[in-house]
Amino acid sequence: MARIESYISETKTIAFRDMVENATTVALFSHVNPDGDTCGSALALAAVLRKMDKDVDLYCPSEVGGKLTFLDGWKAYRAPKYHEYYDLGIAVDCSDRARLGECARVADFCHTIAVIDHHKTSCMPSELSIVRPNACATAELVYMLIADAFPQYLDKRVAELLFAGIVTDSGGFSFSSVSATTYAIGAELIALGVKQAPIFDHFLKSTEKNVFDLRNRALSRAKFFFDGKVGMISFFASDFNATDTCERDTEGIVNFVRDVNGVKIAVAMTETEPEKFKVSIRTDDDVDASRIAGIFNGGGHFNAAGCRISGSFEEVEERLLKACGDWL
């Protein structure tokens, strides 16, 4: 890979190449509540593997829709096919087995599993684990693998999918996880023909009116604690019903709270079922979000993590505030 020092050892790159070359059937897995990184990375790999005449199926335990329909090939995701044998399964951006949801049953019928991930808390069982938390996106690692193992298949379509993955997981190259390598890879992808403006506009700027309304409802209820160091917002079923939105439309809204001056920890609580909440945590550079999420058996990155907590809204809020206060 020219001009870019790979995060991935030559030994693991060769092992991955051999796994792919020896496989005829491949299952690619994206995580529950998918984002641009898991889908962009998986779709890029699928495009490469199909050029190699592999029989490829794409799986995700959640519906792939919303802004992800921008990604070329997104309709290829299918419902789980149980008891279908695969030579190779590749889990992309999945930090643990739980992130596979019901698709974990499909993974059980893969002869070999490879994991490509960048989460600090990654612990997915596999025969080959390619995990580098210093990468700002799994798409960085997928780029390195393709560029080193299968460079002949790195074309504009693959580059666009990987660029979208990096843009969405790096906040448009703005998060602290972005490195010189991230920019170098971005430059390589642009050199392959990527038009970056439409990708930035679609994933980071454009907003449907109903999502705008959802954001306003949540932000209007924002609460701040510990002298403004902790900010919290919430999303309820009533919000989704009133705005004709769904859980995936909450993506990124918590960042508006984190951007408030003085806020060190921003928390979004999303009601998924009665007395069940998905929690997203975003922090500034000196607070480890993954450690806070870990208290509730969650995980993620240093500045972006999540977990799921059961209980009434008041109970969950109190537990989260205690965890944040203990950290501060």
- Interval 16-43 mean pLDDT: 97
Whole-angstrom distance, CA of residue 112 vs CA of residue 132: 20
- Mean per-residue pLDDT, 162-182: 94
Instruction: Report how far residue 169's alpha carbon sits from residue 167's, in angstroms, rounded to the nearest whole number.
Output: 6
Please compute the mean of the pLDDT values over residues 184-212 and round it to a whole number.
Answer: 96
Question: Which structural domains are found in the chain, ordered by start?
Answer: 10-204 (3.90.1640.10), 213-327 (3.10.310.30)
DSSP secondary structure of 5-61 = --SS-HHHHHHHHHHHHH-SEEEEE--SS--HHHHHHHHHHHHHHHHTT-EEEEE-S
The mean pLDDT of the chain is 94
- pLDDT, one tens digit per residue, over 123-143 is 888 999 999 999 999 999 999
Residue partners of 10: CB distance under 8 A and separation at least 6: none
CA distance 22 to 8: 20
Residue 3: per-residue pLDDT: 55
78: Cβ contacts below 8 Å, ≥ 6 apart: 57, 58, 59
Confidence at residue 181, expressed as pLDDT on a 0 to 100 scale: 95
At 263-310, the pLDDT tens digits run: 999 999 999 999 999 999 999 888 999 999 999 999 888 899 999 999
pTM equals 0.89
